[in-house]
Structure 1
Amino acid sequence: MSGAGAPTLTLDGSGLKVVVVAASWHTTVMDGLLDGARRALADAHVDDVTVVRVPGSFELPVVARHAADADADAVVALGVVIRGGTPHFDYVCSAATTGLTDVSVHTGVPVGFGLLTCDDEAQALDRAGLPGSHEDKGYEAAQAAVATALAVRVLEPADGR
């Protein structure tokens, strides 16, 4: 079962600057993901939050990169791609996943991965953090971004080098 074994995190992200980059396709699912991310950031005491909307999931990496370059401590990337009858699903999922990984690795800025890759709309709705959903992937992605940003801070030299 997805979600089994998930950690319980208590985070204090006070002072962190977090950018949430959210796709616009599939409004109901995206509204749930975005609400979940906002709740997680509020629960972690993150006050400096900027939300940027992009057309779709393919556009997440480029805006995530700009957020990282603009001194974000963490980025939360939210999107949903639902399988259709063409290879479009595979290309968008692969490009977005690789792009977001590249942003994180090349900039050193954590990217919370909230990209749903689902076979159908029911799967997406079940992961969107809506009433009746079994999972809240927006919340989880934001928690992961904050937790990773805090872990990175532990490893930074005290003199800022």
Structure 2
Amino acid sequence: MSGAGAPALTVDGTGLRVVVVAAQWHTQVMDGLLDGAARALARAKVTPTVVRVPGSFELPVVAAAAARGGADAVVALGVVVRGGTPHFDFVCQAATAGLTDVAVTTGVPVGFGLLTTDDEAQALDRAGLPGSAEDKGAEAAEAAVATALALRRLRGATSSA
């Protein structure tokens, strides 16, 4: 299972501004990812702003706008299911590179909740739904908050030096 070895993150994100950017394709999977992210953010004492975009290709541009607009962290949620054309490879590469670029160029962490699967069954198994083996929406939200807090500590440590 791909989730084996995942850290157990318990974070308190009180006061953090978190934006969840979520694609709309594959409604059942996306509902699960969003619910998982919402549960994780509630546990972290964060009330997010949720922005929906048409698909996973649109995640980076809206994540960048959120990061530049004052978000402390962004959670990007989407799913791309392999089809019979190279479209899968292009969208996955563009979205992944774009989200990485947002995080590196803005200094705002982006929780990576983009599922790239061979079929819908794999996506459902990672969506955090009843019976799913993994909850990638929750994992992405926890990672974004934990990283925002790590950056806050680092910036505080370097400003007092």
TM-score normalized by the length of structure 2: 0.96
1:8 equivalent in alignment to 2:8: yes
Structure 1, unaligned runs of 5 or more: none
Q: Secondary structure at the match of 1:51?
A: strand
* Mapped partners of 2:41, 2:72: distance in 1: 13
TM-superposition CA deviations, 1:21-69 (whole Å, max 9, x none): 000000000000000000000000113x100000000000000000001
1:95 equivalent in alignment to 2:97: no
Q: Secondary structure at the match of 1:156?
A: helix
State how 1:59-98 maps to structure 2 within 5 Å. 59-98=58-97
Q: Percent identity?
A: 80
Number of aligned positions between the proteins: 159
Counterpart code for 2:39: R
| Aligned-pair CA distance for 1:9 | 1.2
Counterpart code for 2:36: G
Runs ≥4 residues deviating over 2 A: 157-160
How big is the alpha-carbon RMSD for the aligned residues of Structure 1 and Structure 2?
A: 1.1
TM-score normalized by the length of structure 1: 0.96
Structure 2, unaligned runs of 5 or more: none
TM-superposition CA deviations, 1:123-151 (whole Å, max 9, x none): 00000000000000000000000000000
| Aligned-pair CA distance for 1:157 | 3.6
Q: Secondary structure at the match of 2:21?
A: strand
